[in-house]
């Protein structure tokens, strides 16, 4: 197993175990590899083709950046505060209970449930 394969499996294992109302659930995944002949500098070599997919539950309220930053979204500040508090609860669960550091925090990945 390649290092990237082990990292992917490790991430899937963590994601499957996450159960929190403020974290989008992983519903499935796929990891497949196959070998193909490919031409490189006039010679044929065997190349490993890897495909990986993580499938998360669908949330139809769009990404939070649309809700929290748009003045025209119609959300009251109290509701925005509640949403941000939910994000903080989800991050606290990841960091303190699961010991997972979520390093790519940007609003487009957070969804309103």
Residues assigned a catalytic role: 104
Cα(72)–Cα(87) distance, integer angstroms: 22
CB atoms within 10 A of CB 109: 12
């Amino acid at each position: 197993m390649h290092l990237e394969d082990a990292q992917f499996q490790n991430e899937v294992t963590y994601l499957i175990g996450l159960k929190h109302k403020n974290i989008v659930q992983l519903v499935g995944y796929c990891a497949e590899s196959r070998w193909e002949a490919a031409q490189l500098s006039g010679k044929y070599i065997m190349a490993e083709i890897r495909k990986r997919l993580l499938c998360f539950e669908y949330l139809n309220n769009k990404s939070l950046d649309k809700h929290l930053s748009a003045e025209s979204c119609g959300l009251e500040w109290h509701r925005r505060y509640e949403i941000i508090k939910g994000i903080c609860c989800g991050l606290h669960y990841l960091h303190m209970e699961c010991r997972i550091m979520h390093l790519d925090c940007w609003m487009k990945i957070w969804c309103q449930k």
